[in-house]
Structures are given as structure tokens and as C-alpha cells.
Amino acid sequence: MDILLIGSGGREHAICYGLRKSKLVDNIYCAPGNPGMAEIAECVSIPSDNDSIANFAVEKKVDLVVIGPEAPLCQGVADAVRAKGIPVFGPSGAAARLEGSKDFSKSFMVKYGIPTAAYATFTAKDAAMDYIRREYAAGRGVVVKADGLAAGKGVIVASNEAEALAGVEECFAGAFGAAGSRVVIEELLEGEEASILALTDGRTILPLVSSQDHKRQLDGDKGPNTGGMGAYSPAPVVTGELLAVIQKEVLDNFLRGIQEEKLDYRGIIYAGIMVTKEGPKVLEFNVRFGDPETQAVLTRFDGDLADTLLKTANCELDKAQLIWSPEPAVCVVLASGGYPGAIRKGFEIHGIREAEADGAIVYHAGTALRDGRLVNAGGRVLGVTARGKTLEEAVRKAYDAVGKIHWEGMQYRKDIAHRAFHR
């Protein structure tokens, strides 16, 4: 089978790597892809509008389109390709509002009994600020979220009232573009986070192995929020007992909700979970694989990824076999200097081959080729990933590989998986 994979990040490289291992796959086209993906697939340049992508899929007679990022899902690429009769792994544009609008997502959770933080939505700055002042006066902290897509940057986890008010100011001042014209203010939940990804075809829903992301830039979970500085799987906080609760209260209710709302959902649902004293609560839904969770999770997948994604696209998920390695996996993100602020890019990257020599996998995210040299070209640049017989071994292998890579300004956290060790 031939596959078209949309995207260019570390998540898509991990998906591409998994698809390439399938005996069912002949050709993989990646649009636009990245230098790492180009080593195992054909990277192609396609305009990002729906018709151009759908027409390319028809022209190349692809058997499956896999959509990685949230933006093309929200713009309805899946609908355009399905209209051509080609199977797609990815929800419809209407279903993608579960990530594209935080207000829509929260109202969906409340309607279908999915546990989540209390919230309120605002389209006026003064009303939002008054709400925040009342919340802090009552002793409750808040999280400020731009309603729309903001490339992972529209969430302000406020440590005090001043930060919360400043977050509202940012949103309505246009810091996140149109995404911030509507603002969701949530109760600040306390606990430990975990990521639960699940496949669904609208009839069946199957969770993948658990994982945990590290969003703060610096060791000890300090510094600003990022798109994710590393991840590991499994997450010990997700016990068998807790997963059963998440299955019943989150995943089963999610499935019931998309069925009752008649949302065409054939793809992955990502539930960001906060494990509170009252039980698991959903922080957010994403309508695609997480990044960098995917790098850790799919590194543990020993089944046939192409077959699994195709069965999901064809509403045959009940026939899929999810086979997982018992070995833990760890992904350490290497980022550019300045990230998550103004980044310093264009520096040559050294040592990837040496890093992979002992079994680590280096997934590309923000890389580019300049005059035949591989350089850093984005905020998060590489995801160095390794499996091990134990979590300790996986961590050691990942950091041994990290130690062989360098470019000017490279930064990374040195404590990925620290919460698991504390347990």
C-alpha cells in the first residue's frame, strides 16, 4: 500500500518510522516531511489547501492518508480526502473542533459527563478580569486559555492573580491572533499529569499505553511552558485501577458523545489527564497524536502500524491487534537556544549517526538542510528516544545518545522521567 503522511515534526517522523516497518507498505509520501523522514520516505511539496492535498492523493493513488498536525485537521483536510473515496486517519473538521475550540471541547465534556475543571468563557476582557479577581478572592487559582489554535502557546498556567490578568491581557491584545478573541478560564487543578492516547473509529475506542510529558523548559518542572521537553512510557501514575476509571468516565463517555453528536471521528484522541485527589480530570482534548508522547509510545509499539491505522480509517478497529513491548521508552527533546522564546537557528548539528549507533532513535522535528549541512531550524529540534529493559536503562541509553549530539546553543532537560523515579 502507498501512504500520504501530512506533517513535518517529531510526531510525524515517529509515525513515518512505524509505518516504514510495516510489510504492507510500499511507498510513503510525506508532505512536507523533514530531513529525517526523507531518509525513509519521499518528501513532497504540496500546497496546504484541502483540494491540493486531496488531488495529490488521487493522482498518486494512495491507499491511506494519515494527518499528523491539528491545523490541517481543523481546516477539514480529512473531509476533502474522504470525499474522493480515500481512507483517512484523522477526524473530520467538525470533530476537530474538540481541539480547535476549547469552549466547544469544555461544553462537550460537561454535556457527556467527562470529568474536567470548572470553567467560564469570555469574549470581553473586563468580564474575564473581573471573574479572575473573584476566583482569587475565593482562594482559587486559574488557567487562562486562548479558545482557538495557538501552536501550543495559548495556555497560561498562572502562579498568581497578576499572571492570570496578564494572560487575559495578552489574549485580547492579539498575542495569539484570532485564537485569543475568545478566552476560556479554568479552575487550576492540582495533581500529577498523564497522557492517554486512544484510537477510535466511532464504534470502538482502544487506549494506547500511558505516557507522561514534561512541559516546563527547565529541570524540576521550572521555567515557562513549552510544547514538551520530553516524555516517557509507561507512566506509573496510571495504575490499572486508574486506567479502568479513565476508560469508563473519559473514553467511554467520549465515544458516546461523538456518536450522539454524529461526529465522524476516525483517528486518535489525546486526553491530557490531571490525576487529582478527586480522581482523573481531563485538562484538554487533542485530536491527534501528542508530541513528544508519540515518540515514546510508538517506540514501544510492536504491532503493524499501517494495518492498525488503515483499520481505524475503515471503521474496523475491532479487528486490529495492538501489540506492545513491555520495555519502557524515553524521549529527550533537544531544543534550540532561546526556546521557547526567540530561537537561535542555522547551526550545524553533529553526532546523530553516533547517537543512533547503540540503538537509540533520533526523531527529527526542527531540522533543515542548508548547503548540504543539517542545521537546527525550529524550537524543538530532535527527539532522542530509547527503549530499555527497565526505565532506568531506557533513560541511561537516551542520555548516552544525547551526549553524542551537539550544536551551538543546544539545550535539554536532564531529568526526564524524574516523577517515575520518585514513585
Q: What number of other Cβ atoms are within 10 A of residue 223's Cβ?
A: 14
Between CA 150 and CA 256 the distance in angstroms is 28
Cell, residue 310: 488503515
Of 70, 69, 62, the residue nearest 88 (C-alpha): 62
- Walk me through the domains of the chain, giving residue ranges and CATH numbers: 2-90 (3.40.50.20), 124-181 (3.30.1490), 192-319 (3.30.470.20), 329-422 (3.90.600.10)
Which DSSP string do the residues of 218-230 spell out, in sequence order? ETTTEEEE-S-SE
pTM for the model stands at 0.95
Q: Any residues with CB less than 8 A from the CB of 182 and at least 6 apart, and which?
A: 101, 103, 121, 122, 123, 146, 147, 148
Cell, residue 171: 489574549
Lookup result for grid cell 471541547:
105
Per-residue pLDDT of the chain (423 residues; tens, 9 = 90+): 999 999 999 999 999 999 999 999 999 999 999 999 999 999 999 999 999 999 999 999 999 999 999 999 999 999 999 999 999 999 999 999 999 999 999 999 999 999 999 999 999 999 999 999 999 999 999 999 999 998 777 888 888 999 999 999 999 999 899 989 999 999 999 999 999 999 999 999 999 999 999 999 999 999 988 999 999 999 999 999 999 999 999 999 999 999 999 999 999 999 999 999 999 999 999 999 999 999 999 999 999 999 999 999 999 999 999 999 999 999 999 999 999 999 999 999 999 999 999 899 999 999 999 999 999 999 999 999 999 999 999 999 999 999 999 999 999 999 999 989 877
